[in-house]
Structure 1
């Protein structure tokens, strides 16, 4: 399936921890299992039926590890086309629906405002929703939702605007709407290429995918902050106990990325952060509806590679086996499966590994099983959002000449619409956790939940305390963060200290002394958090803080030293810069630390030159910048400043030119020797003159600029120019398109 199906799959309509913080857990290879230890419910199905299955029938199609089973939480007709869920502090569930997503193979009526957000409740705490209401109606494909106190933040497709909705009379329907972020600009791209997320992270920033921005929620308003090197991913976003973000890119066929460092510091990926084999997937069903076509199918016609990775979650609950806590789960809706990845940390580098040998954690033979989001639930279990439909690709990839359309029609996948299921994964014999009432609890009680074994409770207690802005708990939070035994938490855990520190930061109550004490915490993750929390002082070049941080330059944990490099980059102080050099000099060429510094350097380039130019290597960027000067002084007279040509039609437009974007040789030959004759059916008054008298650097600069600016193609280097010069020695006349097309 087309990589781009990416979010689409994930979208499906857009389809859109352990309480120990101590150390990132390492991979236990004993957890890797073979088929003998997996519950063999259905065998491989070579001729699957596209027929609609009831929820009860679907439950019989899942292949799960022994000891696990799925339970139905909600299904049609209560919900339709679900893509995202969010719980408020009292475990009321909001469900975003994309009710106009691909209702036929053409995507007819997709942008009609008839989608909605549903409010579901489990009134008897049996795990199944038994009460529902339409919380918000007549929406345009709502894609992001987040509960903040008694309000729900919602973003719709095609707009950047975010509004808060509230039910003031307890009838289950929102009757108040107010703006919280309204740039009033149209969001570009089809629905699968727009943002997802609204993930309130441990660091109190709210993150999204796609757009280079994060938000702070202050006084009922979302305040944006730019991410210089851009964001990551497409559909789906999650974080672990320590605030590390995990993105996914279906369009790039990349199941996981962005998890080494926070994106505000730049981009850092390692070639060996997972193996090539990790990209292979193992469905238990024939998968004909693959946008990538035959290249993405094995001989047995199963999907061979991630092509629609989305909806990922780091499981942080307390009601499934402990060996699942901290694992990354990634959905692949085209393959009707869910990957379980073990997350390891070695010398500061995070790596992923499939927990099974040529198998998946969850797989189904139901052709309409399309999980597009997953979550850790308030009850400590894992929740799956199954859009449960036939088509999982947006209309751009189901056109009349596509590989997909015949498959969709042959199987009748376009007929299965307006369904949807939410499941929860539970452990045999383990009772789900109690239903929370965080919105009704005292602030003091909320502080006690910062050490809760279920990450959902910790995150939401922190969020609620910050939303209340209740200063009465500040002293208690300071006691928790300092590790003092106190009535607020039952145990002096690192995870409680971590959340207490960030809660104080969110309340604007974190003092310098407490940060300095946390530099010496016995837990590496707490020390890392303290370094991040010192950044406001580093931006002020606070020498006392820099002196204190110097003691961490020999920290035993490389990821602590990596955070030092990242955070110290905010200081302009010579002392801070010297400290970074000392860390790097004593690292013996450690790849993690060296790459962390490079990410900071590239981040600075992005701030200075903009996102696109900033991502390039300096030599390539200089080619483009020099080429810009040449183009604007020489070429605009014929091709126009914007590359769209002139009204007099002196020369052809360059924007979108097939000659510029098709490889390198054609553009090089034209610039070296000129071009004559009709171009795209148009005759121009004069031919393109030869520019070969200029040196290789000049030619490379001009072409690098016009390719970068007008067709979004990579730079051309002087060596490329020399190679074509050598191939065309003796050429003394202009090319024609007929000649070039024959090459």
Structure 2
């Protein structure tokens, strides 16, 4: 008995050490105040709770509490928010999203963006105006000076709306980006873009689509991301411009945060652990898209499945211990994860800040957090769609595992609600709302050293949009001035990027930044120096040689990335850098990613022997695959660590009979695959897409998997290409079929065809 107690004590001590290590930082308040014991409700009710009732259901760390910022009827079905320079909140509301389990009326253009105001600065919105209506499920929103950029579902067009008479309603609009050749994947609105995050580098990034945008002369100019984008719902960046994506389709809570996607795609298998993937709801969570494979014996979600709406906390109204932490919502689990982002010689890893508990969790079954933000007041904001059904209609079809749960609990009845909360810590002080839209450029420069990242970001954005170069001398003074605090270093970084956005960077200011005592300032200068590297500027190149031995691995990694923009001139320096860092995992992986990106750049050339039609299908299919299929099957077709879907490499159903592959994409597939069960139990149909879309994605995947110029490997030499006509013919034969195929049915149909 004593031996048993001793072992148990050692285990508990070990757990405590692990937990304390995970959350160690400047402020140890969370360590000194242990997290309350995890409660659990095995029989939660799906009944609607008022905001006041719902707020009593939350489990939070000591010292924290939630405050209600807005709720129904002021807002309904909120999915994203953005603040303008004066602190007014704009809320994207998807009024037709899953109003029942059949997604009835989902494509009706009746959604809206509302403008909310806090007129007395008490943290509660007390004035609401419908800013824009008659929208189709708005999914991206960004405030740029006195305009609001909005993107709707099924379109890549971005429209700027403006209120010119001060009544809170947009009365002027203009298109700032459109691509007439764009074809949306309108079969599943989950698999479309989100984000529109104005990053530190003055580029706007989004998920799914392989492009980023630059604000130039009042419109958006697109730049290709050669290796494709990533993510699904939500996108964020940290103080230094590092982007963080998540991919719910692949059950991935965080990804692609090692390097900027314009250089390539880089993830490490151990950038988070299996322990990190596990989630810890405080209620039974039966409405899981992944079915029984994603449930513990107590019916709680066992793994991230709908991770979305991530943010890096960068405010100044919560404990310092939270600064820089990764926050991600899990709406199926009714919880929000907090994770520490650790730097291991340039490689980032994330780990849960708590041992088998979550930062925020609720027993309200309608709590559906879908987005998080650092607000202008320094608090953490949470967008709660507050509804019964959170999954899109492809997953709630009659007969599906999820549909049975929805019907049993009556989740389809809980619609038309929505809440926005802010996370507050005891003893906080209210902060005045910003007035950036009324300030001079010189006044905006002063905000570049603000302790709240929201202020720094928006001041930089306003300065770049205004384009007033009268502040250039002031910005240069910030860069060359003495630094004695973290805020002064952050001000230098923002000043450098503001100069870059104003096209006012010069050699001398970069050289001064190369010598800065702060590693992130040096890294920023290397990043910004790329135009000079492209020109092989002798003065800059000489100074960059010194940085190959920089003591900081982030600087060395950025040096490798930036040198790649002109390998013809920089190859000797790249070789020297790699020789000096031959045992560093981050730099070696970065080099491999750059080489893979180079292969993708040459992809079109390698298709030169194909017919024009086949080549067009493969190129179009490559974009679709990276944006959609990779979410579940992996970028290389070999599957994901989460095993959410089977690998495509070597799949006889994809690579053999053409009709089998077409049948699967048209109608989906259910049940075990080669004796293996996968979460969800089926692949949804994509038959709502065009025949050309289906021909493209299948031609690409079959070509790649048969030893084409990509990475998937070899299979056999049967013609991989599928024509639009072949899809159209089979679609006509299958027009009466409404259910997914089983493997057995596919094999029987293939035997008939042959």
When residues 182 and 519 of structure 1 are mapped into structure 2, their CA distance, relative to the original with a 3 A threshold, is: same
Unaligned runs of 5+ in 1: 1-25, 614-621, 644-659, 681-704, 723-735
Partner of 2:255: 257
Contact 1:380 1:432 in 2 (8 A): no
Deviations 1:63-93 (A, max 9, x none): 0000100000000000000000000011000
Asked if residue 86 in structure 1 is aligned to residue 82 in structure 2, the reply is yes
When residues 46 and 741 of structure 1 are mapped into structure 2, their CA distance, relative to the original with a 3 A threshold, is: farther
Contact 1:33 1:357 in 2 (8 A): no
Distance 1:741 1:582 in 2: 59
Distance 2:67 2:35 in 1: 18
Q: Residue 226 of structure 2 is aligned with which of 225, 228, 250?
A: 228
When residues 314 and 664 of structure 1 are mapped into structure 2, their CA distance, relative to the original with a 3 A threshold, is: closer
Deviation at 1:219, TM superposition (A): 1.5
Contact 1:661 1:707 in 2 (8 A): no
Contact 2:450 2:487 in 1 (8 A): no
Partner of 2:452: 454
Partner of 1:403: 401
Asked if residue 714 in structure 1 is aligned to residue 712 in structure 2, the reply is no
More moved, 45-54 vs 512-521 = 512-521
Partner of 1:601: 595
Deviations 1:156-189 (A, max 9, x none): 1111111110101111100001110021344223
Contact 1:35 1:359 in 2 (8 A): no
* Larger RCO (CA within 8 A; separation ≥ 6): 1
Partner of 1:122: 118
Q: Residue 167 of structure 1 is aligned with which of 143, 163, 172?
A: 163
When residues 706 and 400 of structure 1 are mapped into structure 2, their CA distance, relative to the original with a 3 A threshold, is: closer
Partner of 1:616: none
Distance 1:236 1:193 in 2: 12
Asked if residue 508 in structure 1 is aligned to residue 503 in structure 2, the reply is yes
Distance 1:133 1:538 in 2: 49
Distance 1:587 1:188 in 2: 43
Asked if residue 187 in structure 1 is aligned to residue 178 in structure 2, the reply is no
When residues 641 and 375 of structure 1 are mapped into structure 2, their CA distance, relative to the original with a 3 A threshold, is: closer
When residues 297 and 514 of structure 1 are mapped into structure 2, their CA distance, relative to the original with a 3 A threshold, is: same
Asked if residue 559 in structure 1 is aligned to residue 557 in structure 2, the reply is no
Q: Secondary structure at the match of 1:571?
A: helix
Partner of 1:147: 143
Deviations 1:87-113 (A, max 9, x none): 001100000000000001100000101
Distance 1:568 1:661 in 2: 35
Distance 2:713 2:355 in 1: 47
Distance 2:49 2:495 in 1: 47
Contact 1:541 1:573 in 2 (8 A): no
Contact 2:114 2:132 in 1 (8 A): yes
Equivalent positions of 1:213-362 (< 5 A) are: 213-362=211-360
Partner of 2:675: none
Distance 2:44 2:335 in 1: 15
Q: Residue 588 of structure 1 is aligned with which of 561, 582, 585?
A: 582
Contact 1:216 1:224 in 2 (8 A): yes
Contact 1:281 1:358 in 2 (8 A): yes
Partner of 1:726: none
Unaligned runs of 5+ in 2: 1-20, 619-646, 665-695, 718-745
Deviation at 1:524, TM superposition (A): 0.9
When residues 48 and 535 of structure 1 are mapped into structure 2, their CA distance, relative to the original with a 3 A threshold, is: same
Contact 1:555 1:561 in 2 (8 A): yes
Q: Secondary structure at the match of 1:335?
A: coil
Deviations 1:604-662 (A, max 9, x none): 1111105xx9xxxxxxxx8xx6xx96x979xx9xx99989xxxxxxxxxxxxxxxx989
When residues 109 and 28 of structure 1 are mapped into structure 2, their CA distance, relative to the original with a 3 A threshold, is: closer
When residues 415 and 569 of structure 1 are mapped into structure 2, their CA distance, relative to the original with a 3 A threshold, is: same
Distance 1:153 1:667 in 2: 40
Deviations 1:393-442 (A, max 9, x none): 11100001211111001000000000000000000111132211111122
Deviation at 1:709, TM superposition (A): 3.2
Asked if residue 200 in structure 1 is aligned to residue 191 in structure 2, the reply is no
When residues 738 and 509 of structure 1 are mapped into structure 2, their CA distance, relative to the original with a 3 A threshold, is: closer
Deviation at 1:588, TM superposition (A): 3.2
Partner of 1:63: 59
Partner of 1:652: none
Contact 1:27 1:343 in 2 (8 A): no
Deviations 1:312-363 (A, max 9, x none): 0000000000000100001000000000000111100011010000000000
Distance 1:432 1:741 in 2: 71
Asked if residue 368 in structure 1 is aligned to residue 362 in structure 2, the reply is no
Contact 1:381 1:432 in 2 (8 A): no
Distance 2:420 2:603 in 1: 45
Distance 1:167 1:74 in 2: 22
Contact 1:32 1:357 in 2 (8 A): no
Distance 2:749 2:208 in 1: 42
Contact 1:661 1:711 in 2 (8 A): no
Distance 2:289 2:486 in 1: 51
Distance 1:518 1:482 in 2: 7
Contact 1:477 1:501 in 2 (8 A): yes
When residues 54 and 120 of structure 1 are mapped into structure 2, their CA distance, relative to the original with a 3 A threshold, is: same
When residues 710 and 382 of structure 1 are mapped into structure 2, their CA distance, relative to the original with a 3 A threshold, is: closer
Deviation at 1:216, TM superposition (A): 0.5
The RMSD of aligned alpha carbons is 3.1
When residues 415 and 169 of structure 1 are mapped into structure 2, their CA distance, relative to the original with a 3 A threshold, is: same
Partner of 2:518: 523
Q: TM-score, normalised by structure 2?
A: 0.79
When residues 525 and 104 of structure 1 are mapped into structure 2, their CA distance, relative to the original with a 3 A threshold, is: same
Deviations 1:255-303 (A, max 9, x none): 0001100000001111111111110000001001001100000010000
Deviation at 1:390, TM superposition (A): 0.3
Deviation at 1:37, TM superposition (A): 2.1
Q: Residue 540 of structure 2 is aligned with which of 542, 545, 557?
A: 545
Deviation at 1:34, TM superposition (A): 9.1
Contact 1:216 1:222 in 2 (8 A): yes
Distance 1:473 1:236 in 2: 33
Deviations 1:669-701 (A, max 9, x none): 989xxx9xxx99xxxxxxxxxxxxxxxxxxxxx
When residues 115 and 386 of structure 1 are mapped into structure 2, their CA distance, relative to the original with a 3 A threshold, is: same
Deviation at 1:663, TM superposition (A): 5.1
Q: TM-score, normalised by structure 1?
A: 0.80
Contact 1:386 1:421 in 2 (8 A): yes
Distance 1:416 1:238 in 2: 30
Equivalent positions of 1:538-687 (< 5 A) are: 538-574=533-569, 576-609=570-603, 664=651
Deviation at 1:191, TM superposition (A): 1.2
Q: Secondary structure at the match of 2:576?
A: helix
Deviations 1:478-500 (A, max 9, x none): 00011258xxx999711010000
More moved, 427-436 vs 121-130 = 427-436
Deviation at 1:218, TM superposition (A): 1.4
Contact 1:707 1:715 in 2 (8 A): no
Q: Secondary structure at the match of 1:374?
A: strand
When residues 368 and 712 of structure 1 are mapped into structure 2, their CA distance, relative to the original with a 3 A threshold, is: farther
Contact 2:65 2:425 in 1 (8 A): yes
Q: Considering only CA atoms, is the larger Rg found in Structure 1 or Structure 2?
A: 1
Q: Residue 527 of structure 2 is aligned with which of 532, 542, 546?
A: 532
Q: How many residues align?
A: 634
Deviation at 1:471, TM superposition (A): 1.4
Partner of 1:48: 44
Distance 2:749 2:357 in 1: 52
Partner of 1:209: 207
More moved, 346-355 vs 436-445 = 436-445
When residues 391 and 137 of structure 1 are mapped into structure 2, their CA distance, relative to the original with a 3 A threshold, is: same
Contact 2:245 2:255 in 1 (8 A): yes
Q: Secondary structure at the match of 1:291?
A: coil
Q: Secondary structure at the match of 2:128?
A: strand
Q: Secondary structure at the match of 1:37?
A: coil
